[in-house]
Amino acid sequence: MRAYGRRKRCSKALAVIAATAAVAVAAPQASATGSQTVGKGRYDRSALAADVRAVREASGEVSVLAEVSTGRGSLRARASTGEQTPWDARFRAASTTKTFVATVALQLVAEGKLKLDDTVEKWLPGVVSGHGNDGSRITVRDLLQQTSGLFDYVRDPELVQALQDFDEHRHDATPPEEWVAVAMRHEPLFTPDPAHPRFAYSNTNYLLAGMIIEKAGGRPWQEQVERRITTPLGLRHTTVTGTDPRIRGPHARVFFGLPDGKRLDVTEHTVQHTADSAVVSTTEDLNTFFRALVTGRLLPKAQLAEMQRTVERTGDSGDLAEWPEGGYGLGLRWTPLSCGGGYWHHEGDGLGSYTRTGVTPDGKRSVAVSITSAGSVPDLERIGPATRKLVDDALCAPRPS
């Protein structure tokens, strides 16, 4: 596992570096575009700009870009401690990738090429085994719904301890099979029980989902995302990076502060190249994607209903601090709105790039937010309330008369 030995030292160092950095936060800059007043709730560009500033203030030294799609146009706002993020910035969507992957898997289910009750062992014989792991007891549904109980490979202690010297290892790329093998060194958190599904978020699930998609669909998972989602929807600024370290097109630079006061540019890397994190997108494209998804443009009714059937997250879910309410479906979260009902979404937390999304069930309103580190790593528990308020404000505003 030479690739694992090379790459495993990459990302944790960034969190350690940022956590120990002492950086001053400059006075924020803010701007907004869009002339539309969104209904009687007056959620206009000024209101969005205020919410964006609140997110930046809760996040530290970062840049924030948000876009709200209203069905009658769009509103945009941004705020930064330094150089402004381009309005049409590309960014690493991180775990929001999981919704794309789950959508492809459900398309394959609709085509009869895959079943949600298929076991991992059927598609990947012998891959999930050892230390109490049993692929014959884990289904595709368990992978997509985060109910497999599999250890999350990014939490491997050896990996966490060794992740350092980012510049030396930023271009390393470990195949997903090797990361799954790392997870198999650990006992599972639990054995899935179909009658009582238990949620435990694990990136390992989506490495396996990507591998199964490739076998069932006969093409690399990246190519299937492009052929089945980004091309039909005209998402011209959404790509799957693979092992290309660059972000093509306008984008914000991503920086982490160092203890000596300098900044480390972590914009270009290959760390996020697998099916749990590899999509690069824009706020406009993510709004288009989520609206198309919930309105049935990507999935038949039966498969969309499966995707939106959620499981309750319990006290050991590990994500309740950031998402205290709601449930998890197949690569899709559900969160209540203060005005009643709720919204569908999936977050993404990567190396200095954080994504938040939301779309109403009817697809008439959506919002996408990009947060980019400009010197500090946001405390996710602090930005959670600020980003949830932004999404809630944007989606609860009445439609224009």
User: How many Cβ atoms from other residues are within 10 Å of residue 327's Cβ?
Assistant: 18
**Is the distance from CB of 313 to CB of 321 less than 8 angstroms?**
no
Q: Is 128 left (phi over 0), alpha (psi -120 to 50) or beta?
A: beta
| 223: its two tokens | 């190519």
**Is the distance from CB of 162 to CB of 218 less than 8 angstroms?**
no
Dist CA 217 CA 99 (whole Å): 17
Residue 91's identity, in one-letter code, is F
Which residues carry out catalysis?
95
SS3 296: coil
CA distances from 123 to 132, 140, 200 (A): 19, 10, 22
* Closest CA relative to residue 221, chosen from 96, 103, 137, 90: 103
**Is the distance from CB of 205 to CB of 142 less than 8 angstroms?**
yes
Residue 219's identity, in one-letter code, is R
Dist CA 291 CA 341 (whole Å): 17
First to last CA, the chain: 61
Sequence length of the chain is 401
Q: Contacts by 262-268 with C-beta closer than 8 Å and gap 24+? A: 263/375, 264/14, 264/17, 264/166, 264/167, 266/14, 266/166, 266/170, 266/351, 266/352, 266/373, 268/170
Largest CA distance in the chain: 61
Name the CA dihedral angle for 231, 287, 345, 36, rounded to a multiple of 10 degrees: -170
